[in-house]
């Protein structure tokens, strides 16, 4: 993301991203489940902030899987945490929050049924980019290219606006109020400019 000079009291941010790809084992490569800290293979996804995903695999007999506590930082530099309830074998569990950096992943309440189950932890293919911290107004969007994927604009209450795939090039006036933040979530390689104050 790059800032464009302030003109007429408005600010703008160019969001130009490569296509985000999911990496199922980006943070933790397949290891035995445990109580305590998992060893991190990486602390950040390839770019932006991503949902954390985890998948458990039952080995012989099912364990009592417990939870995984995710501690990290969001796209605005704020410390965040979320507790993920480990699912049944092969089921992908996905965080609600987007993490730009992972500080720790801790297993809680796991009990082995004999042979430990295994787990992989990574990130999904949705990419969240911080535009503005604090409330404001998104005045317009400039699509620099026809969008190849869905682009979502969020504030602290959730999705405020969704641009569909194949959305055409152009400048689109909006004047939508945002509470707490303006965040852009992309699922493909797209370029948009957000004009806000």
Token reading at 102:
């992972």
What helix, strand, coil percent values describe the chain, rounded to 5?
A: 0, 60, 40
C-alpha gyration radius of the chain: 19
Whether residue 15 is predicted with pLDDT greater than 50 in this model: the reply is yes
When the candidates are 3.30.43, 1.10.3470, 3.40.1350, 2.60.120, the CATH number that belongs to 2-19+129-196 is 2.60.120
Give 167's strand partners: none
Average pLDDT, stretch 94-118? 94
Average pLDDT, the chain: 88
- Closest to 163 measured CA to CA, from 131, 136, 137, 193: 193
Sequence ranges of the chain with CATH classification 2.60.120: 2-19+129-196, 23-124
- Has domain 23-124 been given CATH number 3.40.50? no
pLDDT, tens digit, for every residue of 55-83?
A: 999 999 999 999 999 999 998 899 999 99
Cα–Cα distance between 81 and 79 in angstroms, integer? 7
Whether the model pTM is above 0.85: no
17 falls in which pLDDT band (50, 70, 90)?
Answer: low
Token reading at 51:
């949902």
């Amino acid at each position: 993301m790059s800032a464009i000079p302030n003109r007429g009291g408005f600010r703008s941010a160019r969001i130009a991203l490569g296509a985000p790809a999911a990496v199922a084992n980006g943070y933790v490569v397949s290891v035995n489940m445990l109580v305590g800290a998992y060893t991190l293979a990486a602390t950040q996804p390839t770019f932006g902030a991503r949902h954390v995903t985890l998948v458990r695999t039952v080995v012989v007999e099912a364990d009592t899987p417990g939870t995984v506590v995710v501690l990290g930082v969001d796209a605005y530099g704020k410390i965040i945490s979320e507790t993920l309830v480990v699912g049944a074998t092969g089921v992908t569990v996905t965080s609600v929050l987007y993490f730009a950096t992972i500080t720790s992943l801790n297993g809680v309440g796991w009990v082995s049924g004999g042979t430990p189950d295994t787990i992989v932890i990574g990130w999904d293919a949705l990419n969240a980019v911080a535009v503005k911290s604090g409330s404001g107004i998104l005045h317009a969007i400039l699509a620099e290219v026809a969008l190849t994927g869905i682009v979502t604009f969020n504030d602290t209450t959730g999705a405020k606006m969704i641009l569909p795939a194949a959305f055409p090039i152009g400048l689109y006036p909006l004047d939508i109020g945002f509470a707490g933040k303006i965040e852009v979530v992309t699922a493909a390689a797209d370029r948009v400019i957000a004009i806000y104050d």
